[in-house]
């Protein structure tokens, strides 16, 4: 399914908890992925980022969608 969103990570459903209105879906990532973040130059300098540094990518979003072909 074509989507404009580029922050797509493939995985396998490992658990589903169905509630009265909403369901929680646990997805295990199966492929390596590269996440691209745009941060200010000041933030990059404050963090003293260099290639090869180990970091955490914190994803801030109002929702995570699930698609299935």
Each residue's pLDDT tens digit, 10-55: 889 999 999 999 999 999 988 888 888 888 999 999 999 999 999 9
Q: Is the pLDDT of residue 3 over 70?
A: no
Q: Tell me the pLDDT band of 1, cut-offs 50, 70 and 90.
A: low
2 versus 12: which is more confidently predicted? 12
Residue with tokens 């797509």: 8
**Residue 68 main-chain phi, psi, to 5 deg:** -145, 130
The residue ranges of every structural domain in the chain are 7-63
**Residue 13 main-chain phi, psi, to 5 deg:** -65, 125
């Amino acid at each position: 399914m074509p989507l404009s969103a580029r922050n797509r990570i493939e995985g396998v459903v490992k658990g589903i908890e169905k509630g009265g209105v909403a369901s929680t879906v646990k997805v295990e990532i199966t492929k390596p992925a590269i996440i691209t973040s745009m941060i200010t130059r000041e933030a990059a300098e404050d963090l003293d980022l260099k290639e090869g540094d180990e970091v955490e990518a914190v994803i801030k979003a109002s929702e995570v969608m699930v698609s299935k072909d």
